[in-house]
């Protein structure tokens, strides 16, 4: 679906006119922008401060959605990696890459907002005994490694295969990391799932769900654009290769005809 749109957007074969926007994504972008403005108003002004945490609670409106989207993005990367290895479909390969980049961004945002929230609430930026914190950090480092492999150069299918194996390696190791950190300290400071414990006030809960929806729309918007950039890069390299092949073939044909002319 996105593939077709991206192909239409290639500016009728003129690479300088290629772009990644379309009427639908511009509309989506505007919705995301409006949603972000509404989220800021809700989170900073409308939602009440927490009884215990005070104004620090407002950070969860960014922290919780970005944490959930981090895992959505990395799950997409793992699925895309498996599909690349299985079907060799460039669509999945580019999807995996796009999701990894956006996931690393959300993961950094999760760790950052979590740390500055932890300072007033737990009285520390970082707690080694917390399972989710340490697991998320290791996941972040693994996915940075994924992006390093992506940018390490080489021919396309080899890079995709390497990256796909790193993506799967990260995915299978996350449960082990989680278990080991859980046993390591056998304690956790972390909030238990905030959405389901039924203690949140109505407007706080609404803002949290609203933040999640806005975050999800942003994720979709960013995925579409990042995917199209990846697809255009893929096309550009394929065209370069085709042109080079065509040039060599015409050289060979010219050499062949002059050779046969010589014989006659």
Q: Is residue 181 near other proteins by the rule CB under 8 A?
A: yes
Residues in Cβ contact with 101 at an 8 Å cutoff, skipping those fewer than 6 apart: 147, 226
Task: Tell me how far apart the alpha carbons of residues 47 and 208 are, in angstroms, rounded to a whole number.
Answer: 10
The binder of other proteins chosen from 37, 46, 158, 255 (CB under 8 A): 158
Burial zone of 53 (CB within 10 Å; 0-12 exposed, 13-18 middle, 19+ buried): middle
Q: Is residue 176 near other proteins by the rule CB under 8 A?
A: yes
End-to-end CA distance of the chain: 55
DSSP per position, 132-199: HHHHHHHHHHHHHHHHHHHTT-S-HHHHHHHHHHHHHHHHHHHHHHHHHHHHHH----SPP-TTTSS-
Q: Is residue 86 near other proteins by the rule CB under 8 A?
A: no
Nearest approach in angstroms of CB 83 to other proteins is 14
Q: Is residue 83 near other proteins by the rule CB under 8 A?
A: no
Q: Helices 202-263 and 60-87: crossing angle, nearest 10°? A: 30
The binder of other proteins chosen from 3, 89, 124, 152 (CB under 8 A): 152
Nearest approach in angstroms of CB 89 to other proteins is 15
> Would you say 146 or 210 has its CB closer to other proteins?
146
Alpha helix segments (H runs only) across 42-155: 60-87, 90-122, 131-150
Q: Is residue 108 near other proteins by the rule CB under 8 A?
A: no
Task: Tell me how far apart the alpha carbons of residues 45 and 55 are, in angstroms, rounded to a whole number.
Answer: 10
CB 54 within 8 A of CB 117: no
Task: Tell me how far apart the alpha carbons of residues 189 and 153 are, in angstroms, rounded to a whole number.
Answer: 42
Interface with other proteins (CB under 8 A), residue total 29
Site residues for other proteins, 121-150, by CB under 8 A, read 138, 141-142, 144-145, 148-149
> Would you say 88 or 119 has its CB closer to other proteins?
88
The binder of other proteins chosen from 165, 205, 209, 217 (CB under 8 A): 165
> Would you say 176 or 195 has its CB closer to other proteins?
176
Q: Is residue 45 near other proteins by the rule CB under 8 A?
A: no
> Would you say 72 or 85 has its CB closer to other proteins?
85
Name the segment binding other proteins (CB under 8 A); options: 53-61, 68-76, 167-175, 241-249. Answer: 167-175
Nearest approach in angstroms of CB 152 to other proteins is 5
Q: Is residue 73 near other proteins by the rule CB under 8 A?
A: no
Q: Is the dihedral of CA 210, 94, 172, 177 positive or negative?
A: negative
The binder of other proteins chosen from 1, 172, 193, 259 (CB under 8 A): 172
Task: Tell me how far apart the alpha carbons of residues 77 and 103 are, in angstroms, rounded to a whole number.
Answer: 9
Contact residues for other proteins (CB under 8 A)? 85, 138, 141-142, 144-145, 148-149, 152-154, 157-158, 161-162, 165-166, 168-170, 172-173, 176-177, 179-181, 183-184
């Amino acid at each position: 679906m996105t593939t077709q749109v991206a192909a239409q957007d290639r500016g009728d074969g003129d690479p300088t006119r290629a772009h990644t926007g379309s009427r639908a994504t511009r509309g989506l972008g505007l919705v995301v922008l409006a949603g972000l403005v509404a989220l800021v108003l809700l989170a900073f002004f409308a939602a009440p401060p927490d009884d215990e945490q005070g104004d620090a609670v407002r950070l969860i409106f960014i922290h919780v959605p970005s944490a959930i989207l981090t895992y959505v993005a990395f799950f997409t990367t793992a699925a895309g990696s498996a599909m690349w290895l299985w079907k060799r479909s460039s669509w999945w390969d580019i999807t995996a890459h796009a999701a990894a980049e956006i996931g690393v961004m959300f993961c950094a945002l999760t760790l950052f907002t979590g740390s500055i929230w932890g300072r007033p609430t737990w009285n520390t930026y970082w707690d080694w005994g917390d399972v989710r914190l340490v697991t998320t950090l290791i996941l972040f480092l693994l996915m940075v490694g994924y992006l390093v492999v992506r940018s390490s150069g080489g021919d396309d299918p080899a890079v995709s295969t390497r990256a796909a194996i790193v993506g799967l390696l990260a995915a299978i190791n996350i449960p082990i990391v989680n278990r080991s950190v859980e046993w390591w300290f056998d304690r956790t400071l972390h909030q238990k799932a905030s959405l389901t414990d039924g203690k949140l006030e109505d407007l706080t809960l609404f803002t949290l769900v609203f933040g999640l929806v806005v975050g999800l729309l942003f994720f979709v918007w960013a995925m579409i654009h990042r995917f199209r950039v990846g697809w255009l890069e893929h096309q550009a390299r394929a065209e370069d290769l085709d042109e080079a092949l065509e040039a060599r073939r015409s050289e060979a044909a010219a050499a062949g005809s002059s050779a046969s002319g010589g014989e006659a």
